[in-house]
C-alpha cells in the first residue's frame, strides 16, 4: 500500500494560453481522491459477511412490525378526518381569517400522508415477503446451492412490482 501522507490535498494544473470566456481562468484545482481515508469503524476487516437464519428472521419480524405499525396509523387517521369534517360550511379550524385556506392545506397534507403511509406499509410488507422467500430458499440445501444472483434479483424485483 502506498503512503498517502506525503500527497497534497489538492492538485493544481496550470493551463496557459487557453481562450476562455473568463480571462481569470488560469487552470484547474482538483481534490486528491487518493488522500481520502475511510472513517474508523467503516473498515470491513473483521466484518461478518454471512447471514444466518436467525438474523433473517429478525429482519423479517422488524419489517413486518414496521409495516403493521404504519398500517395501524393509516386506519387510525380516519379519526382525524372525522374531526376535520365541517357540517355547516365553516372551517373546522375556527372562524379566523384564512381558516378555510388552512383547512384546505390540512386536507391536502392529510390525503398525501395517508396515501404515503399505505404505500410504505405495502412496500415494507413486500420486502418482508421477499426476504422470507430468500430465507426459505437458503434453508433448503438444494436451493442454497442453486440460487443465483439473477434469481435473487427476480424475487426482489417481483416483490417490488418490476417483474
pLDDT value at residue 42: 64
CA-wise closest residue to 153 among 129, 130, 121: 130
* Domain of residue 94, residue span: 53-160
Domain contains 29: no
pLDDT value at residue 163: 45
pLDDT value at residue 39: 67
pLDDT value at residue 123: 95
- In order of 59, 61, 69, 115, the CA distances from 65 in angstroms are 10, 6, 6, 19
Which helix (DSSP H) or strand (DSSP E) does residue 160 occupy? helix 149-160
Q: How many residues in total does the chain contain?
A: 163
DSSP label at residue 141: H
pLDDT value at residue 129: 94
Report the Cα–Cα distance between both ends of the chain, in Å, rounded.
Answer: 44
- In total, how many domains does the chain have? 1
pTM score of the predicted model:
0.54
User: What is the mean pLDDT for each group of 10 consecutive residues in the chain (163 residues)?
Assistant: 66 65 62 69 62 81 94 90 74 79 86 93 94 82 64 82 60
Amino acid at each position: 500500500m502506498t503512503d498517502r501522507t506525503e500527497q497534497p490535498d489538492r492538485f493544481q494544473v496550470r493551463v496557459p494560453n487557453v481562450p476562455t470566456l473568463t480571462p481569470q481562468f488560469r487552470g484547474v484545482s482538483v481534490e486528491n481522491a487518493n488522500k481520502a481515508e475511510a472513517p474508523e469503524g467503516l473498515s470491513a476487516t473483521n466484518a461478518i459477511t454471512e447471514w444466518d437464519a436467525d438474523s433473517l428472521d429478525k429482519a423479517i419480524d422488524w419489517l413486518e412490525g414496521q409495516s403493521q405499525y404504519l398500517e395501524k396509523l393509516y386506519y387510525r387517521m380516519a379519526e382525524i378526518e372525522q374531526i376535520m369534517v365541517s357540517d355547516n360550511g365553516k372551517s373546522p379550524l375556527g372562524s379566523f381569517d384564512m381558516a378555510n385556506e388552512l383547512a384546505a392545506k390540512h386536507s391536502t397534507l392529510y390525503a398525501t400522508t395517508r396515501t404515503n403511509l399505505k404505500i410504505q406499509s405495502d412496500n415494507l410488507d413486500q420486502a418482508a415477503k421477499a426476504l422470507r422467500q430468500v430465507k426459505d430458499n437458503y434453508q433448503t440445501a438444494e436451493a442454497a446451492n442453486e440460487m443465483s444472483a439473477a434469481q435473487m434479483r427476480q424475487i426482489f424485483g417481483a416483490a417490488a412490482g418490476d417483474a
